[in-house]
Amino acid sequence: MKFALLINTGPYQHQAADTAYQFARAALAEGHTIRRIFFYQDGVYNASRLSVPPQDDRHIVRRWSALAAEHRIELLLCSASALRRGILDKEGARVNAIDTDNLAPGFRLAGLAQLIDAGIEADRLLSFAD
Amino acid sequence: MSTKKRIMIVNHRPPHGTLHAWESLDLTLTAAAFEQEVSVVFMGDGVFQLLADQDTSQINIKNFAPAYRTFRDYDIRHVYVEKEALARRGLSSDDLLIDVNLVDTGALCRLMTEQDIILHF
């Protein structure tokens, strides 16, 4: 089955990002396909490469990057959600004259249309939210 | 994919206090631009999102409620409001800024079972 995932909550505060990750791992291990994971609302905080959890805790952001690289999954953020919350790609930093970008590897800013598109294209769109 | 998908966006939170209502609205208008069957539900405290005459000037937050009037321009015809939720809050459809379909909770549940995609905010 082709799944698309939507994550609407930030890492650590809510368990949804963990549940989504564990679902993704389990589904891929069973031979299902995931082409796109979309991050909306506070979900965009999953993409900050400036996240520094304690050493004995899981690194949620790096975990996403590794998953995407292994399985060639698109990690897309709603750009409006991301920009207002301070998640910037290189272009966003440049245009707004901010001294750094902070998008972790594998993540990319996109539009909400790409979320709807993912929902149409996939057999199931699963939403992980509070 | 040639067949249309039924996409339902469910709002159950008040318009302010969180960004959920606003970001849900953004998503709803985006979904409407695709040639799919989009419906929108306002239930629980979500019915407050549609109140007419909202004034947000004292909280310094943009009043995005007028954008619900664009539902018609976007051809979003299926706007469902939970009847019990309105009544429980002492409201009626006269208090809302757009025309809606009033449905009871049971009918809402049945509508939900007919969807391909449900996103809730």
pLDDT tens by residue, A53-88: 999 999 999 999 999 999 999 999 999 999 999 999
Given this model, what pLDDT does residue A130 score? 87
Q: Which residues of B are less than 8 Å from A125 in CB distance?
A: 117, 119
CB contact (8 A) between residue A41 and residue B30: no
Residue-range domain boundaries for chain B: 6-120
Given this model, what pLDDT does residue A47 score? 98
Which of the following is catalytic: A4, A6, A24, A78? Answer: A78
CB contact (8 A) between residue A41 and residue B19: yes
pLDDT in tens, B6-59: 999 999 999 999 999 999 999 999 999 999 999 999 999 999 999 999 999 999
Q: Are A42 and A8 in contact (CB under 8 A)?
A: yes
Q: Are B40 and B24 in contact (CB under 8 A)?
A: no
> For residue A66, what are the CA distances in angstroms to A18, A21, B61, B67?
14, 11, 38, 40
Q: What is the band of A94 on the pLDDT scale with cuts at 50, 70, 90? A: very high
Q: Is the pLDDT of residue B1 over 70?
A: no
Pseudo-torsion of CA A39, A41, A47, A49, nearest 10°? 180
* d(CA A56, nearest CA chain B) in Å: 32
Q: Is the pLDDT of residue A12 over 80?
A: yes
Structure token pair of residue A17? 């990002």
Given this model, what pLDDT does residue B105 score? 97
pLDDT in tens, B67-83: 999 999 999 999 999 99
A127 in B contact zone (CB under 8 Å): yes
- Give the span between the Cα atoms of A78 and A95, in whole angstroms: 17
- Mean pLDDT computed over A118-124: 97
Residue A117 identity: D
Q: What is the band of B86 on the pLDDT scale with cuts at 50, 70, 90? A: very high
% of chain B at pLDDT higher than 70: 98
ipTM of the modeled complex: 0.94
Pick from A120, A121, A124 the residue to mutate for testing the B interface (most B CBs within 10 Å).
A120
- Give the span between the Cα atoms of B120 and B75, in whole angstroms: 20
Given this model, what pLDDT does residue B2 score? 55
pLDDT in tens, B101-118: 999 999 999 999 999 999
CATH 3.30.1110.20 fits A2-128, yes or no: no
Interfacial B residues in 52-81 facing A (CB < 8 Å) = none
- Give the span between the Cα atoms of B95 and B106, in whole angstroms: 23
Residue B113 identity: T
Q: Which residues of A are less than 8 Å from B12 in CB distance?
A: none
Given this model, what pLDDT does residue A88 score? 98
Q: What is the band of B3 on the pLDDT scale with cuts at 50, 70, 90? A: confident
CB contact (8 A) between residue A41 and residue B33: no
Cβ-based neighbour number of residue B121 at 10 Å: 24
Given this model, what pLDDT does residue A115 score? 98
Class in CATH terms, B6-120 = alpha beta
Kindly write down the DSSP assignment for every residue of A91-118, as one continuous string.
Answer: HHHHHTT-S---BPTTEEEE-HHHHHHH
Intra-chain end-to-end CA distance of chain A, in Å: 25
**Residue among A6, A113, A121 whose CB faces B1 most closely:** A121
Q: Which residues of A are less than 8 Å from B117 in CB distance?
A: 119, 125
CB contact (8 A) between residue B117 and residue A115: no
- Going along chain B, which residue ranges are E strands? 6-11, 37-42, 78-82, 101-103, 117-120
Q: Which residue has the tokens 């953004």?
A: B26
B97 in A contact zone (CB under 8 Å): no
Pick from B112, B119, B121 the residue to mutate for testing the A interface (most A CBs within 10 Å).
B119
Give the mean pLDDT of chain A: 98
Cβ-based neighbour number of residue A33 at 10 Å: 14
**Residue among B23, B30, B36 whose CB faces A81 most closely:** B23
Active site residue A74: no
**What pTM was computed for the model?**
0.96
Structure token pair of residue B85? 């939720």
- Give the span between the Cα atoms of B16 and B59, in whole angstroms: 9
Given this model, what pLDDT does residue B91 score? 98
